[in-house]
Structure 1
Amino acid sequence: MYTISQARRLGKYFLIIDNMFVVIGFYVVFPLISIYFVEQLGWGAFLVGFALGLRQFIQQGLGIFSGAFADKLGAKPMIVSGLFMRTLGFIIMSIANTPILLCLSCVLSALGGTLFDPPRTALVIKLVRPWELGRFYSVLMLEDSMCAIIGIVLGTWLLQYNFKLVCFTGAIVFFIAGVFNAWRLPAYKISSSHDSLLEGIKKVLNNQRFIIYVFTLTGYYILSAQVMLMLPIRIHEVSGQLSYIKWMYIIEAILSLLLIVPITWWSEKYFKLETRLMVGLITIIISLFPIGLVKNLHTLLILISMFYIGSIIAEPARETLGALLTDYKARSSYIGFSKLSLALGGTVGYSGSGWLYDIGKEQNFTQLPWIVLSIIGLITLLGLYFQFKYYSFQSSLNNKNNKKRKL
């Protein structure tokens, strides 16, 4: 029988291994969707952006319901079934030669994600002590960057031969992840409450601070969505070479390796979580604004580097701020609801920026989407500023540091 500290330690190792499979499987496929369908097949960016946005909206928008089920059923059945469903989505994507098939594959991938994502995130909050969350999130971010390189390099290499190989490889990785979870994931109970599904949802809806914070982040996710759509397209436009897309992820991995741990640990000592999130967002806004004007690949990669540095500063703080407002009696319900901002941000970020890209291309005004994205970023920054002005999250962290959580 494991002690509580041993169970926490083993659980964290499992989360890191499981995260490796999920991130590699995701990045083998999704960053190349816009390149394959827009740049190679000549589909409209709005159409492809709509499919990606549909995937994001369904996956994150239904998160509160899948989270409520996970609170009642436990993490394992939700995670395993979700991983196998995404496997099926990637298989269908391999034969997608019409918009309907592409949308169907994205819907299945989304349903898989909405099953496995909230309970996986809730397990992090369950197994990691509140005062360790920021550092653990930084470790996961570092792993995400390294695994993203593996995924994108593998995906771009396979794309030279056939997009079907790309999709089948992603499907195999998610299938392995499903088998791994079915074999090794303990039957954790995420919630310590025996309330009904609706009670878990009600707990979330009664937390006004949490709801305001979640919806304020919609603009942040609109900007983040460009990693999957506009940034790869822009690199291909400037360089003319498909192979250069992988440099986005190589740069991200190098920056993460060098900066995530020192920036996170140093900023924890001297800056509040709120300040770190806003400084990261400011950096992202500054990096995005001139991208449409850039004609030189090196300058473009410098701006993308700034974008990643902003994410490195903001992401651990954003994750920790959200975790501080969750109730351990309904962890997955909270995590599921928090995905609504990602759903809205992804939907608008993908379809909206794709639509603006098509308009800008027709009018020979490539800067259009980047101007609009910068304005959205500024509005989000103001929303966070006024929210943080009236409520300090740091006090919540201090309170939770002294509170014992049940495993």
Structure 2
Amino acid sequence: MANHRKSLVVLLVFTFFMVTGFEMIMPLIIGHYVDDLGFLATKVAFALAVRKFSQQGLAMFGGLLADRRDIRSLISLGMFLRVLGFSALGFTRTFPGLLLSMAFIGFGGVLFEPAYQTAIAFLTTDGNRARYLSLNNTVVGVASTLGPLIGALLLRVDFRGVCLGAAACFLMNLVIAAAWMPRVRGGTRSVPVRRSFSTLAGDGRYLRFVGLMVVFWLAASQIDISFPLRIREIAGTPESVSWMYSVYAAVTALFQYPLVSWLLRRHSPRRIAAAGTGIVGLSLLCVPLVERTGPFLALVALLTLGMLLARPNQQSLALSLADREATGLYVGFNYLGFAVGSGGGALLGGMLFDLSRLWGTPNLPWPLYGVVALAAAAGFAMGREFDGA
């Protein structure tokens, strides 16, 4: 990490502004357009889905660009599109305008996200990557906590002020990218696109890894779907959801970097990822045993511990396993796996929540989520092919 310390510090600052700006506004969009402007919730949800699909669903194409273009230019252009998207969001009061704003935000993500991850892959080594990613995730945790607080303060002015505040964060990142972002390229321009896809399609090890990640996200995505519903049932108040996320953010900020760094001196990223995924599975299995708010928040802390062990090491494996001539494409494919897993997890969580209430069996889904996560943990534990990439 020492050879690229300055560039990696630049990426950490970039991460802080990126996450702060995003979290400042995104949780407020549906409330503004539904409650303040009278939009149908279905319409707003569709617009938000457009953002997610345009970013995650097209990430492989962004990855191809990252393999063939200067990463600094791609990230700068992605930041510019986000500045346009968030600025426009503050002025539009129509559904087409909302769709266009979400499209700009999504396409900006297509350009900068795979390029940003590719930069991390080339500026770190197999020996320090997981440690750096754990530090990066700590910054994400801090920014995820500050973003909504800043958004709430700006909302006292008006919604437009929040949008322009978010746009200012991405404008700051545009300056950072243009002035200080390292000039690296993911792959080799001369490699044909068809050959890159053929390399990925023939890489059984990476396909199996992404398959495990899809399984992982089917279960882990319940932190955003079933857990908020469960704690509202237990606590009987909507504010309890914010308590849950505060615990998640606090545990991540306090323990992410020191704990992962300590474990990496003793174990491989794959083993730590397996252990973390197993803790997530055990946490999900224990949900039916908890009926009070305090113990439930303790269970959230345990699940967070599993996530902070699993995620940076999974990210490190994803970058280490990628073919160096098609790193961006591999990163984009991994994002597609995330979209499939988390999207499927959201649908599964919502459907099983409704069915369990209909059948009068509220605890029925949790063993399923737990078994799914434990299956992913077993896959990582037995996946010695993922070592020494």
Equivalent position to 1:323, from 297, 319, 330: 319
Q: CA deviation at 1:336?
A: 1.3
User: Which amino acid letter does the alignment assign opposite residue 12 of structure 2?
Assistant: I
Cα deviation per residue 1:16-39 (whole Å; 9 max; x = unaligned)?
A: 111111111222234556777899
Tell me if structure 1 keeps the 8 A contact 2:263–2:272. yes
Compare relative contact order (CA 8 Å, sep 6+) and give the higher one, 1 or 2. Answer: 1
Could you give the per-residue CA deviations for residues 77-106 of structure 1, whole angstroms, max 9, x where no partner exists?
221222232344445655788888766654
* Residues 1:394 and 2:387 aligned together: yes
In the alignment, residue 294 of structure 2 is paired with which amino acid?
Answer: H
8 A contact 1:85–1:112 mirrored in 2:
yes
* 1:179-198 correspondence to structure 2 within 5 Å: 179-192=175-188, 194-198=190-194
Q: Which residue of 2 aligns with 1:150?
A: 146
1:189 counterpart SS class: coil
Residue 299 (structure 1) aligned to one of 292, 295, 298: 295
Q: Any idea what SS the aligned residue of 2:190 has?
A: coil
Q: Secondary structure of the equivalent of 1:131? A: coil
- 1:130-167 superposed Cα distances (whole Å, 9 cap, x missing partner): 21111111111111111111113223455677655544
Give 1:285 shift.
2.0
The question of 1:110 aligning with 2:103 is answered no
Counterpart CA distance in 2 for 1:136 and 1:306 is: 23
Matching residue of 1:255:
251
Residue aligned with 2:325, SS: helix
Q: 2:195 aligns with which of 196, 199, 205?
A: 199
Describe the superposition over 1:295-343 as per-residue Cα deviations: whole angstroms up to 9, x where unpaired. Answer: 5332232121111100111122211211221222222122112212111
Distance 1:382 1:35 in 2: 40
1:127 equivalent to 2:123? Answer yes
CA distance in structure 1 between the partners assigned to 2:167 and 2:159 by the alignment: 13
Aligned to 1:138: 134
TM-score for both structures, normalised by structure 1: 0.80
Unaligned runs of 5+ in 1: 397-407
Q: Which residue of 2 aligns with 1:340?
A: 336
User: By how many angstroms is 1:119 displaced?
Assistant: 0.6
Specify every segment of 5 or more residues in structure 2 that has no aligned partner in the other structure, as ranges.
none
- The separation in 1 between residues aligned to 2:240 and 2:157, in whole angstroms, is 17
Q: Percent identity?
A: 26
Using the TM superposition, name which of 177-186 and 157-166 deviates more: 157-166
Give, in angstroms, the shift of residue 190 of structure 1.
2.6
Give the SS at the match of 1:130.
coil
Q: What residue number does 1:26 align with? A: 22
Quick check: 2:220–2:373 contact (8 Å CA) kept in 1? no
The answer on 1:70 being equivalent to 2:66 is yes
TM-aligned CA distance change 1:183 to 1:355, over 3 Å: farther
RMSD: 3.6
Q: Once the two structures are superposed, what CA deviation does each residue of 1:242-288 show, in whole Å capped at 9, x if it has no partner? A: 65544444433432343223322332233333321121112112223
- Aligned-partner SS, 1:329: coil
- Does the CA contact (< 8 Å) of 1:252 and 1:308 recur in 2? yes
CA distance 1:348–1:86, shift in 2 (3 Å): farther
